[in-house]
Amino acid sequence: EDKVVQSPLSLVVHEGDTVTLNCSYEVTNFRSLLWYKQEKKAPTFLFMLTSSGIEKKSGRLSSILDKKELFSILNITATQTGDSAIYLCAVDSGNTGKLIFGQGTTLQVKP
């Protein structure tokens, strides 16, 4: 059975801290891994990763994929209160376009 597991499930840090969120997966036909940020309602797209070892960056956020070990990490440096959200990891498996989501990591950044 395909599955995606995120850790930790929740995290509380202070502004300025650096955080690392983890995502491991087991899927039969991997196409890509995606990270989303969900603040109130609709998740917003952060990164799509398809190749191992190539870091993607957007400001203070970065992510990398390891297809051999079947995991990805999302790093956030110099965290701000606006980074508080649920971070979702999802894997696109097969030709159907279905995304398999992890449980999400709830990040709270305190001032």
Q: Say whether residue 28 binds other proteins (CB under 8 A).
A: no
The smaller minimum CB distance to other proteins, of residues 18 and 52, is found at: 52
21, 23, 37, 43: which one binds other proteins (CB under 8 A): 43
Q: Say whether residue 88 binds other proteins (CB under 8 A).
A: yes
Distance in angstroms (rounded) separating the CA atoms of residues 110 and 51 = 34
| 7: β partners | 22
The smaller minimum CB distance to other proteins, of residues 2 and 17, is found at: 2
C-beta of residue 26 within 8 angstroms of C-beta of residue 92: no
